[in-house]
Structure 1
Amino acid sequence: MTRSLHLSNVRLADGQRVAVSVVDGRIEALGAHVAAPRDAHIEDGGGALLLPGFVEGHTHLDKSNWGRPWYRNEVGPLLTDRIGNEREWRRASGHDAAAQSLALSRAFVAAGTTRLRTHVDIDTDARLRHLEGVLATRQTMRDTLDVQIVAFPQSGMLIRPGTVELLGDALAQGADVLGALDPALIDGDPVASLDATFALAQRYRKPIDIHLHEPGEIGAFTLKLLLDRVEAMSMQGQVVISHGFCLGALPERERDVLLDRIARLHVALLTSAPPSCTVPPLKLCRDKGITMFGGNDGVRDTWTPYGVPDMLERAMLIGMRYDLRRDDDLMIAFDCVSEAAARGCGFADYGLHVGARADLVLVDAESVAHAVVARPKRKLVVANGRIVARDGALLS
């Protein structure tokens, strides 16, 4: 059956008043003089600002404690402290990745997110249990939220024998992307770790998204090794570097050599714009043609008490971290959770144009900059051509 929707009296970012016609989940027409399709559901936007559905470029649905009682965080300061604490807590508490990923996914959709990339822990304790939970959530949300799953070795790969095989199983069973983590500081052997990662990616024909927290020169060394493999294995456009803290701490000359190579190999960068870490230079990366986008990272888990499933808030935090104050600069912050994020993750048919999947958000805001700063309640959320949320609440 043909499904059609007509949104009238809405405004684009440039202020133009338009209508949008949606048929079978796609934007069929968008403009100032668009007639409603026959038998369409007609919705008056009331002059609201029309935005594309938001994109969460990096989160961990399987870890979240969203909607559950407060988790008292008493973990030590080291990365390894957090990894070990989380693994033990999840085991002892019976943390349910299926229930928690579903709760957080629904909250993301209510706030306007329609595309999402999540990293899911694969390790020799839980094996594929967390993946199975998130696969169930993806199936439940399939008509509303486009979910990419990254098979992520949170506890390390080479230091936990059997993890490589489990990652392969995860890719075979439905994970879309191969994850990796700090090959030098966690696995202790960046050459062997990266060799294993790229061999797996080649075997299963999957892209790579690597967490690179390694600082300064250690991070730069790992990054060079990674870029060598991208080039040697012709994986241009198939790799994302998440966090990339070293790129915010290196001397300019060394940093710019790396950024030029990242641009040439079409490697994308992800930032959560953390206030306590160095970050890659956003505007310089964009000037060099690098796709740099945003994500929450963890939301209310054992790693952090912070985070909410609202990509307008993440855009605001990106703006604050990078001192983006002008309206045109705040458009950059929004791009990090919309067009750039879709491009970096490889989500197809995205945006406000004819033929795109109809993922739309209406907010009462004067401009995109105003929406980022004020983060108004989502007046309407359309996912895959269907109204799924109104006034900040899911309809089902």
Structure 2
Amino acid sequence: MTTTTHALLITDVRLPDGARVDVSITDGRIAALGPNLPREPGVMLEDGAGALLLPGFVEGHTHLDKTHWGLPWYRNEVGPKLTDRIENERRFRAQGDHDAGVQSLALARAFLQAGTTRLRTHVDIDTDAGLRHLEGVLATRDALREVLEMQIVAFPQSGVLGRPGTGALLGQALDAGADVLGALDPALIDGDPVASLDLTFELAQRHQKPIDIHLHEPGEVGAFTLGLLLDRVAALGMQGRVVVSHAFCLGALPERERDALLARLADLRVALLTTAPASTPVPPLKACLEKGVTLFGGNDGIRDTWTPYGSPDMLERAMLIAMRYDLRRDDELAIAFDCVSTTAARACGFTDYGLYAGARADLVLVDADTLAQAIVARPARKLVVANGRIVARHDTHA
């Protein structure tokens, strides 16, 4: 349940730079932000008591439809290959009663409670299940539309070429309300990167949708696929409308080849998403920053047949990003936070984001001295405001 207010004044909070301010909120927007704002009659008052004020967090890549959040523990005995995980999940979902609507709503609410107010989720579009998983997540988006801004990626978990009819289903998913077109490993899953990418870009052009592609392909294979993708971005004028998720290949290439791809990514405004996994190569954060490449963060799956890991706490994900990239200084930890806040919002296209007058009022209050401490200690969320509404207090739904 949310506390609905048309006007709210949060007093005595601290910005990440240390400034002490009040925040005035009207009709879901930050109306003013500064010291000693006037107390107007009829305005709900909330004492921040010196808490640290952060913008609502952004989850750049998750899979709400797959999660077992809140269910009994899933015993994971899947094989080591990507195809093992895909087929294991397909069997589980076909044989069981996993409900993407119920489960996505449970995890989306957990994200909100922990301070995430913008979210991009990939949803399986499958020739066995059709649009069933999408329909469940669309219902979740509708149920939370007043407080959680959600983008849905129509994602072909088995690729677009191997199962006839997948392309048509993806088109139906985009017509039904998916915001972004997904894709998966054109070389190693689809077996024909040219045909796979041609179909993906043709669908995106026809439906006027951006693309977010899972690219797990390693080393030279991944670099080859990435080059083909960038060729199409340039030829079709899709600059600023493509995200490459994972991009493991960029963490395993010789520096000269890697930097040439980074330069093209920057020039074409193609963003990279990383979950900062500990066990695989990752795109180089500092090189991306130096070259002007947008790199942002997300969880990937959370508690599903693929992985027992993940959490709806984006401060935890920021900490894991910082650990993976060996970010230790306070100013470096701020970069990790940007990966789940400002940079993620920009990469996904979430507008009116941040701590400034006119922005959507998505705010998180925590008891921490600094941003770095908030990331490392991950304190309870003292208050979460989403679209001007109080949605959580002290890690409990309001």
TM range (shorter): over 0.9
2:169 maps to 1:166: yes
Is the Cα–Cα contact under 8 Å of residues 4 and 37 in structure 1 kept in the other structure?
Answer: no
Q: What secondary structure is seen at the aligned counterpart in 2 of 1:66? A: coil
Q: Which runs of 4+ in 1 moved over 3 A?
A: none
Shift of 1:36: 3.2
In the TM superposition, what is the alpha-carbon distance from 1:32 to its structure 2 partner? 1.4
Kindly, what percent of the aligned residue pairs are identical?
Answer: 74
- 1:274-313 Cα deviation digits (max 9, x unpaired): 0000000111111211111000000000000001110000
Q: Which residue of 1 is the match for residue 48 of structure 2?
A: 45
| Structure 1: distance between partners of 2:39 and 2:94 | 54
| Letter of the 1:79 counterpart | L
Residue of structure 1 equivalent to 2:232: 229
Greater Cα offset, 285-294 or 59-68: 285-294
Deviation of 1:38 after TM superposition, in Å, equals 3.6
How many residue pairs align between the two structures?
395
Tell me if structure 1 keeps the 8 A contact 2:5–2:44.
no
TM-score under structure 2 length normalisation: 0.98
- Per the alignment, residue 223 of structure 2 pairs with 220
Deviation, structure 1 residue 37? 3.9
Distance of 2:322 and 2:291 partners within structure 1: 19
Aligned partner (choices 128, 146, 149) of residue 146 of structure 1: 149
CA contact (8 A) 2:146 2:387 kept: yes
1:37 to 1:270, Cα distance in 2 relative to 1, 3 A: farther
Could you tell me which runs of 5 or more consecutive residues in structure 1 were left unpaired when the two chains were aligned.
Answer: none
Equivalent position to 1:120, from 116, 119, 123 = 123
- In the alignment, does 2:94 pair up with 1:91? yes
- Deviation string for 1:244-269 (max 9, x for gaps)? 00000000000000000000000000
**Match of 2:296, SS?**
strand
Deviation per CA, 1:305-333, whole angstroms, max 9, x where unpaired?
00111000000000000000000000000
Q: Distance in 2 between matches of 1:68 and 1:375?
A: 24
Verify the 8 A CA contact 2:101 2:140 in the aligned structure 1.
yes
Alignment of 1:387 with 2:383, yes or no, is no
Contact conserved, 1:21 with 1:36, CA < 8 A, in 2? no
Query: Which residue number in structure 2 is paired with residue 22 of structure 1?
Result: 25
CA distance in 1, matches of 2:54, 2:351: 17
Equivalent-residue separation in structure 2 for 1:141 and 1:290 (angstroms): 32
Partner-residue secondary structure (3-state), 1:82: helix
Match of 2:47, as an amino acid?
Answer: D
Please provide the CA RMSD for this pair.
Answer: 0.9
Contact 2:15 2:53 in 1 (8 A): yes
Instruction: Please identify, of 35-44 and 119-128, the stretch whose mean Cα deviation from structure 2 is larger.
Output: 35-44
3-state SS, counterpart of residue 169 of structure 1? helix
* 2:365 corresponding residue in structure 1: 362
Q: Unmatched 5+ residue regions in structure 2?
A: none
Match of 1:264 among 251, 258, 267: 267
- Do structure 1's residue 250 and structure 2's residue 249 form an aligned pair? no
Hey, what does 2:315 align to over in structure 1?
312
Stretch of structure 1 that moved more, 286-295 or 111-120: 286-295
Q: Is the 8 A contact 2:54 2:364 kept in 1?
A: yes
Deviation string 1:176-207 (CA, Å, 9 cap, x unpaired) is: 00000000000000000000000000000000
2:139 pairs, out of 136, 140, 163, with 136
Which of 272, 280, 305 is the matching residue for 1:302? 305
- Taking the aligned partners of 1:36 and 1:209, their CA distance within structure 2 comes to 45
| Deviation of 1:35 (Å) | 1.6
Other structure's SS at 2:335 match? helix
Correspondent of 1:110 among 110, 113, 134: 113
2:197 aligned with 1:201, yes or no?
Answer: no
Q: Residue by residue, what CA displacement relative to the aligned partner does 1:219-259 show, whole Å, maximum 9, x if unpaired?
A: 00000000000000000000000000000000000000000
